[in-house]
Amino acid sequence: MSAAPLDREQLMGKVMGDFAGAFSALLVRVGEQNGLFKALGQGPADSVVLAARAGAAERYVREWLSAMAAAGYVTYDPAIGAFSLSPAQAALFAEEGTPFYLPPFADLLAGVYCDEPKITAAFKSGEGIPWNDRHGCVFCGMERCSRPTTAAFLVDWWLPALDGLTERLKAGGKVADIGCGRGGAVIAMAKAFPNATVHGFDLHPGSIEHARATAAEMGVTNVRFEVAAAKAFPGDGYDLVTIVDALHDMGDPVGAARHVRQALKPNGTWMVVEPLAEDRLEDNFNIRGQLAYAASTCICTAVSLSQEVGLALGAQAGPTRLKSVLAEGGFTRIRRVAENANNIVLEARP
């Protein structure tokens, strides 16, 4: 059962809070682009000092600081007229590279806002929006959001949860990551298992190009990136196939599952990482669900509808629906092996 509807005053408070948050998110991006959070991380400052540190215009910085302090994203001490970052504020806004660092979400949001006319038009036409047609901030936001999570969880938590997999990959083996985007998971696995060969496949040529350049820059050589659809990626005899936060974006996830099955060794494993969700719509009525359904409406559903079949699972499909897709694709042994605050991890074996 959903909670009782809020009365008008309560609802007004909730919605205005959300809208204020949407503006704040935009200013998080502006602040990050101008180096304001990192500059404030160097120590307490008023707007004159911060503007000088960051090389930005003082009047804008002054208003930005007021907005961020009103949002609770920075701290203001009226006794000395200075702003600063608490340890929690620094972790979320100034210390890049951990899953706690949130400005990359503002990249995604900026990209989605730029794409609003396309999204509005799609509601009328019913057509999809291919990944290739999205604003550039969506690609960089996606990479920046997923790379730290992948670094924190994939190698140390998710792969060890799969039956016997890490031992196999230490000795060698062949891995494919499908819907690999800019290659964060591929590069992380290649570095962790230097004796294995890791292939990354994605429909989006721009992401594949970016992934190749990143791997070359990092000197990671046991990887190969190719433009390919999930239903048609080349090769077989894979020990492990992974799909990280991409199955629900695919037009034909059942077709993808069938293709993965035939590409695996008979004793191979498929790992599917998907956004955390409960099975029942009403059990997702919380902040996570609000965010995920909104992103799914604007991005994931539109990508899936742009492809063959257009199943449009949505980013909150829930474990039962996901398992049924895997089973339809011919997998018989399916287990939920891990989860964190944002993701569930399924292991599927033929």
Name the residues that contact ligand SAM, by CB under 6 A.
131, 142-143, 146, 178-181, 184, 202-204, 207, 229-230, 244-246, 249-251, 303, 307
Instruction: Identify the burial level of 48 via C-beta atoms within 10 angstroms of its C-beta, where 0-12 means exposed, 13-18 middle and 19 or more buried.
Output: exposed
Which residue lies nearer to ligand SAM by CB, 245 or 347?
245
The least distance separating ligand SAM from the CB of residue 155, rounded to whole angstroms, comes to 14
The least distance separating ligand SAM from the CB of residue 93, rounded to whole angstroms, comes to 22
Task: Tell me which residue has its CB nearest to ligand SAM.
Answer: 181
Which residue lies nearer to ligand SAM by CB, 76 or 113?
113
CA distances (Å), 34 to each of 46, 50, 56, 114, 273, in order? 16, 11, 7, 20, 34
Q: How far apart are CA 299 and CA 132, in angstroms?
A: 12
The least distance separating ligand SAM from the CB of residue 300, rounded to whole angstroms, comes to 7
Q: How far apart are CA 32 and CA 95, in angstroms?
A: 11
The least distance separating ligand SAM from the CB of residue 342, rounded to whole angstroms, comes to 11
Compute the Cα dihedral for 68, 71, 72, 73 and give only its sign. Answer: negative
CA distances (Å), 228 to each of 26, 100, 206, 317, 336, in order? 34, 32, 12, 25, 27
Bridge partners, 226 (sequence order): 201
Which residue lies nearer to ligand SAM by CB, 54 or 241?
241
Which residue lies nearer to ligand SAM by CB, 165 or 229?
229
The least distance separating ligand SAM from the CB of residue 273, rounded to whole angstroms, comes to 8
Residue 50's SS3 state is helix
Which residue lies nearer to ligand SAM by CB, 141 or 318?
141
Which residue lies nearer to ligand SAM by CB, 37 or 131?
131
Residue listed under structure tokens 């035939």: 262
The least distance separating ligand SAM from the CB of residue 9, rounded to whole angstroms, comes to 38
